[in-house]
Amino acid sequence: MLLFIAAIVFGIIALTWSADRFVEGACGAALKFNISPLIVGMTIVAIGTSAPEILVSVMAVIEGVPSLAVGNAVGSNIANIGLALGISAMVLTIPLKSQVKQRAVPALVAMTAVGIGISLDGTLDFFDGLIALVAGAIATWFASQGAEPEEVPEGSDQLGLGKSLMWLAVGLAVLLGSSRLLVWGASGAAIELGVPEVIVGLTIVAIGTSLPEVAASVAGALKGHPEIAIGNVVGSNIFNMGGVFAVAGLMTTVSIDSVTLARDFGLMLGMTLLVAILAWTAGRLNRVAGLALLAVYTSYLGYLGWSTL
C-alpha cells in the first residue's frame, strides 16, 4: 500500500512539473508571434495542461480500468472550474469580455452537453468517441474565432526557440512516464481499499491531473493576464470532453453507471452553467464568485468522501 501511495504522490509531482515545462516551452515559442493570451490559453496552454488527463486516461484503458478514464475527465472538468477558476478569481477579478461571452462560454456549454448526451445510455463506445472528437474540434475552432492579438504576457519571451522546443520534448517524455505511474498507483490503491476506480478518478487522479491547469491559471492571474486563466479552463474542459472522452471511447467500450451520471455529470453541467450565467449577467468573476466555486468543489469532495464510508 505504501508503494501505491508513493507512486501516486510521485506521479502527481512529476505530472505537474512536466506539464509546467511543456506549457512553458509552448508559450515561449508561440507568444513571440503576438497571439492573443485568450487564444493561447484555450489552445496551447489548455492542450498542454490537459495532456496529463488524456495520457492518464489512455493508460487507464490499457490497464483495464476504463471507468477511471471517465472519472478522470469529468472530475478534471469539475476541478478546473472549482479549483483553477475559483482560485484564479480570488487572486484577481477575471473580466469576461465579449469574445468569452459570445463564443468561448457557449462553446464550453455546448461541448459539455455533447459529453453528457453521448453518455446518457450508460456506455461510451467508438461512435460516441467519434462524435466527441468532431464536436471538440468544432467547439475549439468556434471558441477561438474573433480574438484580437494583445500584448505578449510579461516574461513569456525569455525563452529562445531552441530551449522552448527542448522543454516541449522533455515535458512530453516525463508526462508519458509519470501518467503510467499515477494510474498504476491509483488503481492499486483502489483495489486495496475497496474504493471504486471511478471515485479514485474523480478525486485523487482528477485533482492531480488538474494541478497544471490550476498552476497555469493562477500564474496568469498573478501576472495580470486573466485571459489566460479563463481561456485555459474553457479550452481544457472542451479538450477533456472532446479529447479524453473521445480517446477512451475510440479505444474501448466504457460503462458509465447511473450514480456517476446523476452526481458527477450533473455537477459538471451545473458548474459550467453557473460560469455561463455569471458571464452573461455580471460579465466578470470576482472574489465572491471564486469563493463560491471553490466552496462548491470542496463540498463535492466532502460528499464523495462521506458516500464511500
Burial of 250 (0-12, 13-18, 19+ CB in 10 A): middle
Instruction: Classify 154 as helix, strand or coil.
Output: coil
Q: Domain limits of the chain?
A: 2-307
Instruction: Classify 92 as helix, strand or coil.
Output: coil
C-alpha distances (whole Å) from 227 to each of 1, 28, 241 are 42, 17, 21
- Do 282 and 89 form a contact (C-beta atoms < 8 A)? no
Print burial letters for 100-121: b (CB count within 10 Å at least 16), e (below 16): bbebbbbbbbbbbebbbebbee
Question: What's 2-307's CATH class?
Answer: mainly alpha
Instruction: Classify 94 as helix, strand or coil.
Output: strand
Alpha-carbon distance 175 to 173, whole Å? Answer: 5
φ, ψ at 284 (rounded to 5°): -165, 165
* Nearest one of 166, 175, 147 to 37, comparing CA atoms: 147
CB neighbour list of residue 230: distance below 8 Å, 6 or more residues apart: 38, 41, 85, 88, 94, 96, 100, 104, 285
Provide the pLDDT for residue 197: 67
Alpha-carbon distance 252 to 9, whole Å? Answer: 28
Provide the pLDDT for residue 183: 72
Task: Output the CA angle 242-70-243, nearest 5 degrees.
Answer: 20
Cell of 127: 461512435
Q: For strand 94-95 and strand 254-255, is the pairing parallel, antiparallel, or unpaired?
A: unpaired
- Across the chain, which has 309 residues, the per-10-residue mean pLDDT values are 85 79 70 71 77 79 82 88 91 85 93 95 94 95 73 53 79 77 79 73 70 75 76 90 89 89 94 93 90 93 76
Provide the pLDDT for residue 156: 47
Alpha-carbon distance 250 to 234, whole Å? Answer: 23
- Do 185 and 8 form a contact (C-beta atoms < 8 A)? yes
Cell of 216: 497555469
95 pairs with which residues across the strands? 284
